């Protein structure tokens, strides 16, 4: 069973890498978009009179933004492509449940997005002499893991909309940036108006991200982390369960409408 | 369990689509209207009918890709609505056309991916993929990207994909679309070999000769309803047992021939068409011997430039059934 | 001459009409809303918050810049996306196989976007001004709108360049839409071009849009025609240069794409 899952994971990853991700241009997206936002952040910081940009938010936050945009873009792209190519129908018609295929696919996309974060880290360290001395390594890693898990859960949740119909698929594209705005990858949540903070509380990545940022700043208060991680975990689970419930509904809906074969 | 591989009972499928930009108005299209039929184990069953008749819709319901609006469909003894996953393991399907494969991957990689989705163990997958590539004659081109395949090659790869997991029941929706005559003949041979292996096949096609050659039984479907269902032979009998003569003669002799033929007492219809500089006379009759007797006179005169005698083909039957229903 | 002209104009509007029709054929009010308040709108908000975080006291510069950028973006990405879309629907071969002249064929598709975005700006600008209590008593609105209109056309040259990349490369639309993000740094949308390093400033001034946006900003604070005329003239010249180069490139690469048969590959 586990062997089967691993093989499926490997095969799916291969397919995706060959079709799209390994494609030079998708990589470009993973680097260019965070670069542009980071660069704007840096120049703005300079215009505002700061000596040095805030590395955690302006530089590494750009990497997180890249991860997120990369995830939404590639999920949208992959499913849209399956729809156009007509492969969606054949995948759904196979005995492997679509939810499994989608889970693996989304994980691939989230992991690919780490490239973006890595690049941002390298820029922070190599270009801006960001020192890693104060970093709380373990909390940072746990938080990062939760970010990956949270993005994955949101990814499989959004995938349902993309499979459901083209119309609902466009909602996904719509949500890419609003989520980025409220989750505050490149600025702390506290600068947002109250109501936006309230919205962002729904997203597991927001909590995990606060953990990561605190770990990078060297916060050692374990209670702080525990609360954030708990929220991230609980919300991630909630997203995943909702996604799972939706998957069954969507599977029925598309077989009533025949939407999966429409271009 | 009965020996029916497919049991369709009062299957009804309609689609609801939205029309217009602002209005929420909906339109209902009935694709399949209360049809019932059975396909026996080991049978090659043909589904024929004009564009939009509901063939693909039926096939998709049978392959669990569409849910019926009403009615029951049992496949290999299982309900397609409730036992979806088990059904999927044991059926294979293709839908004609170029879509459904990853263009940027090689043929081989496409098969490997789908082998995984069908849960084949790696060793078995390797063996089956090699075999299937051989069956559809793509071994040489297996490492080329599918986007560079010709449309016939794509069709064949579709078939290989459908057969990978050795399904008992196979749906082939227009499998020979876009395949050249030689390739189509080979594909038909492949299909016959599958029957020899005791597979059950549901085939839709627009090529009547193909259906006639392959199918044990045929259902003709129009506007979502089955309007005829029988073996090709009895379908042909059902319409008429007429023999058709096509005679090409000098234009000058047309009147003479027509007069002579009128003298035959039996039922007979004559149609004349141009075949410049000659005339073509199409004679249908249930008494071919009598017509032949008169014709021999003309043949010896040396003014007959062509003579073809044939029975009704399935195509004639199909056309007359479809048109008959439309009138 | 007259017949030639009417043919071009007719083709332009027929294209525009079809683009408009297909834009709305399967979409709903929601889709329209999405395309309207999609990336540009939220990028604006995002930049404002980034600015606030780094300590900028006044977000107005960013707000106005991003609004002025709206009509420019479609000039840039419109043609490239058109090529990409046609490719996806397998219609590119038919489009390019037709004897129709290319300029109206592809520019026409942008018409309703330009119109639509022009209206968006006319609405968004006053709203932003009210929302941020900007003192607009000095502003010269007709002049601002003129700048907006000009930039939406001057950017189409760049659109041709990117569109021709999409012609020969099936992933071209991905490259170009990504690269065009760089405009958010270069053309003075979020901060004055002078905040950039010297060599980048010369890049900025060799791009369309930079002068147009600057001119619009000046008109907003009350500059008259006299003081921005040179900027507008520069914008028009740069724009025409890009259109000439881009159109030429489009024609050359179109030939290339016919040679290597890359038209409808996905
Ligand atoms: N997803 C769908 N949504 C709405 N209507 C549909 C859908 N799929 C099929 N139809 C309609 O159902 C009817 C039957 O279509 P179907 O594809 O089954 O025909 P077919 O017999 O396979 O035709 P062809 O020979 O052209 O392949 C048609 O009127 C078609 O427009
Ligand atoms: Mg069909």
pLDDT digits (tens, 9 = 90+) for B294-321: 777 777 777 788 888 877 778 878 888 8
Phi and psi dihedrals of B170, rounded to 5? -130, 130
For residue A258, name the pLDDT band (cuts at 50, 70, 90). confident
- The count of structural domains within chain A is 1
Instruction: Look at residue B116 in the predicted model and tell me its pLDDT.
Output: 87
B231 and B249 share a domain?
Answer: no
B232 and B276 share a domain?
Answer: no
Q: Which atom of ligand 1 is nearest to the CA of B13?
A: 12
**C39/C46 Cα distance (integer angstroms):** 10
Q: Other C-beta atoms within 10 Å of B162: how many?
A: 21
**Cis omega (within 30 of 0) for bond into B277:** yes
Rounded distance from Cα B206 to ligand 2 centre (Å): 10
Q: Whose CA is nearest to atom 4 of ligand 1?
A: B15
Asked if residue B121 is part of any domain, the answer here is no
Q: Between β-strands B225-230 and B217-222, what pairing exists: parallel, antiparallel or unpaired?
A: antiparallel
- Average pLDDT taken over every residue of chain C: 79
Nearest by CB: A174 against C34, C88, C196: C34
Rg over CA atoms, chain B = 24
Interchain contact, B21 vs C24, CB within 8 Å: yes
Q: Residue C265: its chain B contacts at CB < 8 A? A: 103, 147
Asked if residue B116 is part of any domain, the answer here is no
Contacts by C129-133, CB closer than 8 A, 24 or more apart: C132/C59, C132/C60, C132/C63
Digit-coded pLDDT (tens) for B130-142: 999 998 889 999 9
Interchain contact, A14 vs B85, CB within 8 Å: no
Model's pTM, two decimal places? 0.84
Interchain contact, B103 vs C266, CB within 8 Å: yes
CATH number reported for the structural domain that contains residue B12 in this entry: 3.40.50.300
Asked if residue A158 is part of any domain, the answer here is yes
Q: Residue C38: its chain A contacts at CB < 8 A? A: 173-174, 177
Q: Between β-strands B200-204 and B169-173, what pairing exists: parallel, antiparallel or unpaired?
A: parallel
Nearest by CB: A87 against B15, B60, B101: B101
Q: Residue B22: its chain C contacts at CB < 8 A? A: 29
Local structure of residue C134 (DSSP, 8 states): -
Selected residue with higher pLDDT from B205 and A2 = B205
> B36 is written with which tokens?
């019932």
Q: Whose CA is nearest to atom 16 of ligand 1?
A: B54
Quick check: C100 contacting A, CB < 8 Å? no
Digit-coded pLDDT (tens) for C149-163: 888 888 878 877 887
For residue C78, name the pLDDT band (cuts at 50, 70, 90). low
Q: Are B87 and A92 in contact (CB under 8 A)?
A: no
For residue C58, name the pLDDT band (cuts at 50, 70, 90). confident
Q: Residue C88: its chain A contacts at CB < 8 A? A: 84
Q: Are A120 and A59 in contact (CB under 8 A)?
A: yes
| A247-251, B8-12, C32-36: least confidently modelled range | C32-36
Interchain contact, B65 vs A94, CB within 8 Å: no
Quick check: C237 contacting A, CB < 8 Å? no
Digit-coded pLDDT (tens) for A162-174: 888 877 777 787 7
Q: Which atom of ligand 1 is nearest to the CA of B29?
A: 5
Q: Whose CA is nearest to atom 2 of ligand 1?
A: A258
Q: Are A205 and A147 in contact (CB under 8 A)?
A: yes
**pLDDT (mean) for A237-253:** 93
B232 and B252 share a domain?
Answer: no
- On the CB side of A45, CA atoms within 13 Å amount to 20
Asked if residue B176 is part of any domain, the answer here is yes
Nearest by CB: A15 against B69, B105, B119: B105
Digit-coded pLDDT (tens) for A13-52: 777 777 765 566 666 777 888 888 899 999 999 898 888 8
> C177 is written with which tokens?
């839409």
For residue B22, name the pLDDT band (cuts at 50, 70, 90). low
Nearest by CB: C265 against B21, B22, B147: B147
B21 and B50 share a domain?
Answer: yes
B48 and B86 share a domain?
Answer: yes
User: For ligand 1, which residues put their CB under 6 angstroms from it?
Assistant: A 258; B 15, 17, 29, 31, 49, 51-57
Pick the residue from chain B with its C-alpha nearest to A262: B99
Interface pTM (ipTM) of the complex? 0.89
B234 and B279 share a domain?
Answer: no
Selected residue with higher pLDDT from B297 and A108 = A108
**pLDDT (mean) for C75-93:** 67
Nearest by CB: C195 against A47, A54, A180: A47
- Average pLDDT taken over every residue of chain A: 87
Asked if residue B272 is part of any domain, the answer here is yes
Rg over CA atoms, chain A = 19
- For A17, residues 6+ apart whose C-beta sits below 8 A from its C-beta are A108
Interchain contact, C29 vs B103, CB within 8 Å: no
Instruction: Look at residue B176 in the predicted model and tell me its pLDDT.
Output: 86
Residue C241: is its pLDDT beyond 50?
yes
Interchain contact, B66 vs A93, CB within 8 Å: no
B2 and B56 share a domain?
Answer: yes
- List of chains touching B (3+ CB pairs within 8 A): A, C
* Sign of the C-alpha dihedral computed for residues B208, B210, B216 and B217 taken in this order: negative
Asked if residue B250 is part of any domain, the answer here is yes
- For A12, residues 6+ apart whose C-beta sits below 8 A from its C-beta are A101, A104, A105, A108, B113, B116
**pLDDT (mean) for B49-63:** 93
B85 and B29 share a domain?
Answer: yes
Pick the residue from chain B with its C-alpha nearest to C264: B147
Quick check: C42 contacting A, CB < 8 Å? yes
CATH number reported for the structural domain that contains residue B303 in this entry: 3.30.70.120
B77 and B177 share a domain?
Answer: yes
Q: Where are the beta strands (DSSP E) in chain B?
A: 4-18, 26-40, 44-48, 70-75, 78-79, 91-95, 169-173, 200-204, 217-222, 225-230, 243-250, 268-275, 278-285, 304-311
Instruction: Look at residue B166 in the predicted model and tell me its pLDDT.
Output: 93
Asked if residue A262 is part of any domain, the answer here is no
Q: Other C-beta atoms within 10 Å of A11: how many?
A: 20
**A28/A39 Cα distance (integer angstroms):** 16
Instruction: Look at residue C91 in the predicted model and tell me its pLDDT.
Output: 66
Q: Which atom of ligand 1 is nearest to the CA of B57?
A: 18
Phi and psi dihedrals of A207, rounded to 5? -70, -45
**pLDDT (mean) for A116-141:** 86
Asked if residue A162 is part of any domain, the answer here is yes
Q: Other C-beta atoms within 10 Å of C203: how many?
A: 16
Interchain contact, A32 vs C43, CB within 8 Å: no
Q: Residue B103: its chain C contacts at CB < 8 A? A: 265-266
**pLDDT (mean) for C38-65:** 86
Asked if residue B134 is part of any domain, the answer here is no
Asked if residue A263 is part of any domain, the answer here is no
Instruction: Look at residue A59 in the predicted model and tell me its pLDDT.
Output: 87
Digit-coded pLDDT (tens) for B67-101: 999 999 999 999 999 999 999 999 999 987 778 89
- The count of structural domains within chain B is 2
| Structural domain range at position B210 | 1-90+170-186+197-238
Q: Are C51 and A45 in contact (CB under 8 A)?
A: no
B21 and B33 share a domain?
Answer: yes
Instruction: Look at residue B241 in the predicted model and tell me its pLDDT.
Output: 67
Q: Are C238 and C206 in contact (CB under 8 A)?
A: yes
Q: Which residues pair with B78 in a beta bridge?
A: B75
Digit-coded pLDDT (tens) for B187-204: 898 899 899 989 999 999
Instruction: Look at residue B131 in the predicted model and tell me its pLDDT.
Output: 93
**pLDDT (mean) for A180-199:** 92
B176 and B86 share a domain?
Answer: yes
| Structural domain range at position A149 | 2-257
Best to test chain B binding among A95, A99, A254 (most B CBs inside 10 Å): A95
């Amino acid at each position: 069973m586990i062997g089967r899952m691993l093989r499926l994971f490997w095969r799916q990853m291969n397919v995706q890498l060959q079709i799209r991700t390994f494609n030079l241009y998708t990589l470009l997206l993973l680097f260019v978009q965070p670069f542009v936002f980071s660069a704007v952040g840096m120049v703005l910081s300079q215009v505002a009179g700061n000596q040095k940009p805030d590395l955690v938010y302006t530089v590494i936050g750009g990497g997180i933004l890249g991860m997120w945009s990369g995830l939404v873009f590639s999920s949208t792209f992959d499913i849209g492509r399956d729809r156009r190519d007509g492969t969606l129908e054949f995948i759904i018609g196979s005995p492997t449940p679509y939810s499994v295929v989608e889970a693996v696919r989304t994980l691939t996309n989230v992991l690919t997005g780490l490239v973006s974060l890595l690049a941002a880290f390298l820029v922070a360290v190599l270009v801006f002499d960001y020192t890693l001395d104060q970093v709380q390594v373990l909390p940072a890693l746990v938080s990062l893991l939760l970010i990956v898990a949270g993005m994955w859960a949101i990814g499989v949740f959004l995938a349902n909309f993309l499979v459901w119909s083209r119309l609902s698929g466009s909602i996904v594209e719509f949500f890419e940036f609003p989520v980025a705005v409220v989750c505050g990858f490149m600025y702390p949540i506290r600068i947002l108006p109250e109501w936006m903070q309230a919205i962002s509380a729904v997203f597991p990545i927001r909590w995990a991200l606060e953990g990561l940022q605190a770990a990078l700043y060297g916060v050692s208060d374990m209670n702080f982390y525990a609360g954030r991680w708990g929220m991230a975990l609980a919300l991630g689970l909630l997203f995943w369960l909702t996604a799972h419930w939706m998957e069954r509904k969507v599977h029925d809906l598309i077989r009533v409408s025949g939407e999966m074969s429409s271009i | 369990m009965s020996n029916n591989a497919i049991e369709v009972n009062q299957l009804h499928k309609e689609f609801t689509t939205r029309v217009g930009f602002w209005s929420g108005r909906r339109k209902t299209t009935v694709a399949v209207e209360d049809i019932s039929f059975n396909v026996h184990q080991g049978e090659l069953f043909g589904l024929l009918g004009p564009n939009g008749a509901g063939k693909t819709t039926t096939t998709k319901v049978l392959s669990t890709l569409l849910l019926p609006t009403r009615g029951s469909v049992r496949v290999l003894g299982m309900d397609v609505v409730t036992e979806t996953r088990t059904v999927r393991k044991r059926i294979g399907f293709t839908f004609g056309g170029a879509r459904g494969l990853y263009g940027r991957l090689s043929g081989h990689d496409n098969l490997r991916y789908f082998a995984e989705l069908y849960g084949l163990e790696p060793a078995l997958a390797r063996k089956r993929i090699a075999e299937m590539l051989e069956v559809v004659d793509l071994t040489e081109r297996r490492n080329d990207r599918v986007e560079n395949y010709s449309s016939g090659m794509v069709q064949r790869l579709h078939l290989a994909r459908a057969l990978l997991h050795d399904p008992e029941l196979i749906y082939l929706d227009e499998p020979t679309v876009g395949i050249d005559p030689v390739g189509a003949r080979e594909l038909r041979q492949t299909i016959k070999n599958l029957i020899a292996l005791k597979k059950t096949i549901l085939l839709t096609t627009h090529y009547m000769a193909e259906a006639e050659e392959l199918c044990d039984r045929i259902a003709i479907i129009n506007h979502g309803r089955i309007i005829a269902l029988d073996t090709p032979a009895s379908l042909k009998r059902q319409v008429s047992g007429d023999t058709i003569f096509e005679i090409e003669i000098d234009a000058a002799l047309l009147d003479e021939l027509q007069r002579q033929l009128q003298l035959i007492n039996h039922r007979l219809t004559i149609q004349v068409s141009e075949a410049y500089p000659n005339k073509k006379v199409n004679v249908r009759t249930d008494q071919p011997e009598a017509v032949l007797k008169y014709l021999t006179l003309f043949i010896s005169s040396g003014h007959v430039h062509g003579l073809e005698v044939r029975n009704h083909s399935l195509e004639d039957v199909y056309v007359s059934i479809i048109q008959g229903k439309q009138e | 001459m007259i017949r030639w002209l009417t043919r071009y104009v007719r083709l332009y509007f027929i294209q525009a009409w079809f683009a408009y029709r297909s834009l709305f054929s399967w979409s709903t009010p929601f889709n329209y809303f999405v395309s309207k308040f999609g990336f540009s709108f939220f990028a604006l908000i995002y930049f404002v918050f980034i600015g606030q975080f780094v300590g900028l006291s006044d977000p107005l510069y960013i707000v106005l810049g991003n609004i002025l950028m709206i009509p420019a973006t479609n000039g840039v990405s419109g043609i490239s996306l058109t090529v990409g879309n046609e490719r996806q629907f397998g219609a590119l071969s038919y489009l390019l196989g037709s004897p129709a002249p290319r300029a109206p064929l592809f520019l026409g598709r942008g018409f309703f976007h330009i119109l639509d975005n022009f209206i968006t700006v006319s609405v968004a600008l006053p709203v932003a001004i009210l929302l941020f209590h900007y003192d607009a008593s000095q502003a010269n609105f007709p002049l601002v709108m003129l700048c907006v209109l000009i930039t939406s056309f001057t950017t189409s040259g760049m659109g041709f360049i990117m569109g021709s990349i999409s012609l020969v490369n099936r992933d071209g639309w991905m490259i170009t839409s990504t690269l065009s993000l760089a405009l958010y740094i270069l053309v003075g949308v979020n901060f004055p071009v002078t905040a950039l390093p010297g060599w980048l400033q010369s890049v900025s001034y060799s791009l369309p849009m930079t002068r147009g946006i600057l001119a619009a900003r000046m008109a907003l604070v009350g500059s008259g025609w006299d003081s921005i005329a040179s900027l507008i003239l520069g914008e028009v010249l740069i724009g025409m240069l890009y259109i000439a180069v881009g159109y030429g490139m489009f024609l050359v690469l179109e030939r290339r794409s016919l040679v290597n048969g890359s038209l409808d590959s996905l």
